[in-house]
Amino acid sequence: MKFDRKFLLCALVYAVVGICVGIYMAASKNHGQLVGHAHILLVGFVLSFIYGLIHKLWVAADNRLVANVQFYLHQLSALVMGTGLLLFYGGLFQEALDPILAMSAFGVLGSALLMVYLVIRFPRSQA
């Protein structure tokens, strides 16, 4: 499966999860998970969707190791960040989650830097 489709499918999963968290917050009238909800939708859904578009339109790196690293680093970091923030703002494991959340933030940054590299190094021919 090509990276544009992988990113699209992951983005849609994050969209469903983020919407479910939003519905939970509305139904419970407890908006304490707002930060986790926002990060799931922005880092998980929006950024994955944008990366999928970038692969579809501008990057020709489907068989490249760096593209695999970028994909899995982003997905792992987004998953850890979203889950960690839900737990953190749910009042669970807060002290233990601080370094894990920091690492996930650096993972998201690293995957963004790798995407910049992919766009520069492996441009899709615009013939």
Cβ neighbors of 95 (< 8 A, separation 6 or more) are none
Report phi then psi at 83, rounded to 5.
-65, -45
**pLDDT digit string (tens) for 74-123?**
999 999 999 999 999 998 888 899 999 999 999 999 999 999 999 999 99
- pTM of the entire predicted model: 0.93
**pLDDT digit string (tens) for 31-84?**
999 999 999 999 999 999 999 999 999 999 887 899 999 999 999 999 999 999
Take residue 109 and report the two structure tokens written for it: 């940054």
Take residue 60 and report the two structure tokens written for it: 């020709």
4 neighbors 56 (Cβ within 8 angstroms) = yes
